[in-house]
Structure 1
Amino acid sequence: MPIDAFADLPTHAAALRRGEYSSVALTEFCLNRLETHGPTLNALVAVTRERALREAERADAELALGVDRGPLHGIPYGVKDLLAAAGYPTTWGAEPLRNQRFEQDSAAVAKLTAAGAVLCAKLAMAEWAGGFGYEQPDASFTGPAVCAWGEDRWAGGSSSGSGSAVGAGLLPFALGSETWGSIHSPANNNGVCGLRPTFGRVDRAGCMTLSWTMDKLGPLARTAHDCGLVLNAIAGGAPLNDDGEAGGAGEAFAPDEMVAERAYRYPPERVRTPPFKLAVLPGAAERAQDAVRENYEASLEALRSLGTVEEIELPAFPYEVAATVILNAELAAASDDFVSAGLSWDLTAPEDRYGGLAGRMIPAVDYLNALRVRAKFARALDRLFAPFDAIVTPARATVAQPLGMPFRRYAPGATAETLGGPANAAGLPGLCLPNGFDADGLPTGLNLVGRAFGENRVLAVGRAYQAVTDWHTRRPERWA
């Protein structure tokens, strides 16, 4: 049977087991699409063709012998280029690191290999995951990332290649990372699903560090269910990360029940079903673009058919200030060798060449006070969110912005997704879902945020929403 570039993971898995096509055939199909369309989207750092075909041949041989590694067995994927893949470039999106390679796979890649998945590509990203303060889409040596739904629009950052590759049907799923919006932004812009797991849920060993206490790895895929299947494969990890720092779920700031490592299982033994208990924030879409606001309101109507929707207010804390101080101070430490060697002057975006310097001026007292404030609001949010399956907000205030335009010039004053700073600083899980389009055919997104370690509750809401809507089935005609 012909291979559908936009099929979800269960569809591919069933076809492989029925012998409708092989993993080698599916892998070659994806490799060819990557090599043909990836450069147009500025989505690629490297195609891992030799490794991919080797892994696909092994997957087919194992299935023929009755060895089944699970729902990802034989399915191609790509990773944001801050995850190491042995022997291949791991550039962190930065021109000075174009030839950087590591001898071992990152922990997440190793787990996907163990699950039988097939690594096909290292995918483009904003240089240094956007940590140096890029202000326009052209902030990677691979060029400005192109949205799957508009050749003159931005794919979003910093997991840009992951978003556009999945959005254009080049790969069934990809891994990205989020410190503050870097999974949800490309998911929103490319009309796909993006899951930000709880901080510490996925081992970051073998990954670039932007912020030791805010970085999170997660999947971008076609459906909420797909995201859960991928998270099941990559969840769990060592108590120490690659820098020897605590890699668990936020000992410094999290509620006590977040400290211990927790096992993850998806699908869970007992899947939550409607009615769900949901919450919204007052005025969450007031200053968003018209299409974003209209689609958000329509999404709330769909969600009301699945349960209750209650309005809540966040407790008063300086969320964004604390998150900004923590991120910038930790970036300054993580990039110290890079900046001290003068390598930042060779970055692509002019503003990135000096953007990392300000964090080096943050006093230790400010950083420590930001940590103390975060500990307080993480506990406050945990209490507030405990009764709910998810908190619902727009994923972004706007659709994908034009390429070549500084961020500040596009839709000035548009603000939404008021949980971006609080949820990322507190390490909370979030799921971005496509929920409509604007008049120009550009997708908008819906954000579901949960309590720490509440991924399965959020995924249950996402699956139910996708059962009564069809936005996740839409595909950009150019790549169909």
Structure 2
Amino acid sequence: MSDHRYATVTELHDALRKRKVSAVELAEETCDGLARVGPRYNAVATVMRERALAEAKRADAALRRRVRRPLLGIPYGAKDLLAAKGAPTTWGAPPYRDQVIDMDATAIAKLKRAGAVLAAKLAMVELAGGGGYRYPSASLQGPGRNPWNVERWSGGSSSGSGAAVAGGLVAYALGSETSGSIGTPSAYCGVTGLRPTYGLVSRHGAMALSWTLDKIGPMARNADDCGVVLEAIAGPDTADATASGRRFRPLDTRAAAAAVKRARVAFAEEDIEDHASAEAKGALERGVAEFRKVAPKFARAALPALPFGPLVSTVYAAEGSTIFAELIEGERFEELVDTRQKAGLRVSLDIRARDYLQAMRLRNAVSAAFAEIFKVADVIMSVGRTITATPITQALDQPGLTASNPQQTKRPGNTGLIAAGNLAGLPAIFFPCGFGTDAMPVGLQLVGPPFSEPLLVALASAYQRATDHHTKRPKP
């Protein structure tokens, strides 16, 4: 593949502006790589060459007119739960393998207006894993393979998005998160992922798993690239009643430097001391030490001991089973890949209203707990995941060391931060901080109050300017 394979958005923008490469040439290179290398990672649902070339030709025409947009002419991929003209939208599930939704999701449409070039729909866990899948193979394309080691999982449910960015197939991708589906692939694949505040990015045209939890966000090579993409896709949308109408704009250089200098970081040392696996522990400790040099104002703070995992799973299971009730009760249900997923969806139809409403009521307690922490801190830091990527043949409940099922100790710390943050609708940024003893990536996460994305991007960007973990590349 070409020298552009691991280029950042900024580098590609400069190359296009200086006519070192045309948008059509870049689209051809990208589509060729997706077709040739994508199957190695089970990362691609559909290569969209015809659409990519048409959009690239329009981008070249705009470039000749000296139009300056940061994403103009740059190819990307989108998780296959986002509708896009020119390709099926399979939701990663066999019953929907031929589904065509003849429209662009709002996020796709906004990127088109920004001049971006859609090159592929990317693989995902079937139905975004709403039934609680047991194996990485729960996908129409097969298990997401990690570019750092194809016998390890790329994470879910945005498995193709994480693998495609890490493997150099696209400079950035859109993923989605209900509870961990941007964070886990980012941590496992060593890329940067940004989960926006609930309602910042329209979900119109995206598969719904949970009306009150789903969020769409970018995954890229660095925090600055995530910010560029988020600026393009955030904002109002009359087609999505849950859209906040808020926009995103990154801090300028001076404001970002000042914000990083004064940022107060909440951290619980037990997240690593008590919960990190032997393979991940050393690199995570070094990553936190590096971050302290960038933003030294650390203070201890931990969430209360609430059942974050069961709460979030009750919410998305109840809402998801309602959304997919027709499938669950229909003839094509058995086409789903994962046995546990099918069992979970069936059981979810019988979740009592009382249990769902209790979980929704407790979300207020979760939000209140965050509000208390944010009185003394600007962001909360924790690990992206406490473990490195698991083998693709290993059941996901073995071992039981996960974000929603941490080790039972007297010090839970903030190991439930992924589930808790999603329950509260808070933004988070996930970024790599090194490699475990098994040579697999590990990463950290920062969570902030609603609409604190400018600070999160500034902090992660400052860390990435001081380190080089995000520039590491897997062997071809």
1:461 and 2:459 aligned: yes
Q: Name the aligned partner's letter for residue 283 of structure 1.
A: E
Give the alignment partner of residue 369 of structure 2, picking from 371, 380, 402.
380
Alignment partners' CA distance in 2, 1:401 and 1:319 = 23
Aligned counterpart, 1:8: 8
Contact 1:398 1:411 (C-alpha < 8 Å) held by counterparts: no
**Matches for 1:43-82 after TM superposition, within 5 Å:** 43-68=43-68, 70-82=69-81
CA contact (8 A) 2:315 2:360 kept: yes
Which of 323, 329, 332 is the equivalent residue of 2:321?
Answer: 332
* Amino acid across the alignment from 1:290: A
Offset of residue 386 of structure 1: 4.5
Deviations along 1:163-197, whole A, 9 cap, x unmatched? 00100000000000000100111111111111111
1:294 matched residue in structure 2: 282
How far the C-alpha of 1:319 sits from its partner, in A, is 2.7
Matched, 1:247 2:242: yes
Cα distance change of structure 1 residues 328 and 87 upon mapping to structure 2, 3 Å threshold: same
Q: Number of paired residues?
A: 461
Match of 2:227 in 1: 228
Q: In the alignment, is residue 405 of structure 1 matched against residue 394 of structure 2?
A: yes
What is the one-letter code of the residue matched to 2:156?
G
Kindly provide the amino acid, as one letter, of the partner of residue 153 in structure 1.
R
- Residue aligning to 1:344: 333
SS of 1:351's equivalent?
Answer: helix
1:283 aligns with 2:259: no
* One-letter amino acid of the counterpart of residue 369, structure 1: Q
Report the Cα distance in structure 1 between the residues aligned to 2:383 and 2:86, rounded to whole angstroms. 40
How does the TM-score come out when normalised to structure 2?
0.93
Corresponding letter in the other structure for 2:246? R
1:125 Cα shift?
0.2
- Preserved CA contact (<8 Å) 1:395 1:417: no
Task: Specify which of 472, 475, 478 is matched with residue 473 of structure 2.
Answer: 475
Q: What is aligned with 1:258?
A: none
CA–CA distance in structure 2, aligned partners of residues 428 and 378 of structure 1: 9
Q: Which residue of 1 aligns with 2:246?
A: 262
| Structure 1: stretches of 5+ with no match in the other structure | 250-260
Q: Closer, same or farther in 2 for the Cα pair 1:4/1:386, shift >3 Å?
A: farther
Inter-CA distance 325–408: structure 2 relative to 1 (3 Å threshold): closer
The change in CA–CA distance for 1:165 and 1:290 in structure 2 (over 3 A counts) is same
1:205 has 2:193 as partner: no
Pairwise CA distance, 1:412 = 5.3
2:411: which partner in 1? none
Q: Is the 8 A contact 2:251 2:455 kept in 1?
A: no
366-375 or 132-141: which moved more? Answer: 366-375
State the alpha-carbon separation in 2 of the partners of residues 417 and 47 from structure 1: 37
User: How many angstroms does 1:376 deviate by?
Assistant: 2.9
- Separation in 2 of the partners of 1:210 and 1:346? 18
Cα offset, 1:320, TM superposition: 2.7
What CA distance in whole angstroms lies between the structure 1 residues aligned with 2:152 and 2:188? 9
**Counterpart contact for 1:346–1:353, Cα < 8 Å:** no
Instruction: Give the distance between the partners of 2:252 and 2:375, measured in 1 at CA.
Output: 19
SS at match of 2:249: coil
- What is the Cα deviation at residue 468 of structure 1? 1.0
Measured after TM superposition, the shift of residue 264 of structure 1 is 1.8
Query: In structure 1, what residue type is equivalent to 2:393?
Result: G
Bigger mean CA deviation after superposition, 335-344 or 86-95: 335-344
Counterparts of 1:439 and 1:280 in 2: how far apart (Å)? 24
Matched residue, 2:128: 129
Residues 1:368 and 2:357 aligned together: yes
Deviation track 1:434-470 (CA, whole Å, cap 9, x = no partner) reads 1111223211111111111111111111011111110
Unaligned runs of 5+ in 2: 408-413
* TM-score for the superposition, normalised by structure 1: 0.92
CA distance in 1, matches of 2:124, 2:291: 33
* CA deviation string 1:86-124 (max 9, x = no partner): 131100000010000111100000000000000000000
Q: Which amino acid aligns with 1:294?
A: G
Separation in structure 1 between the aligned mates of residue 184 and residue 401 of structure 2, nearest angstrom: 17
Name the SS for the 2:261 alignment partner: coil
Question: Cα offset for 1:240?
Answer: 5.0
CA distance in 1, matches of 2:300, 2:331: 50
Q: Secondary structure, in 3 states, of the residue corresponding to 1:392? A: strand
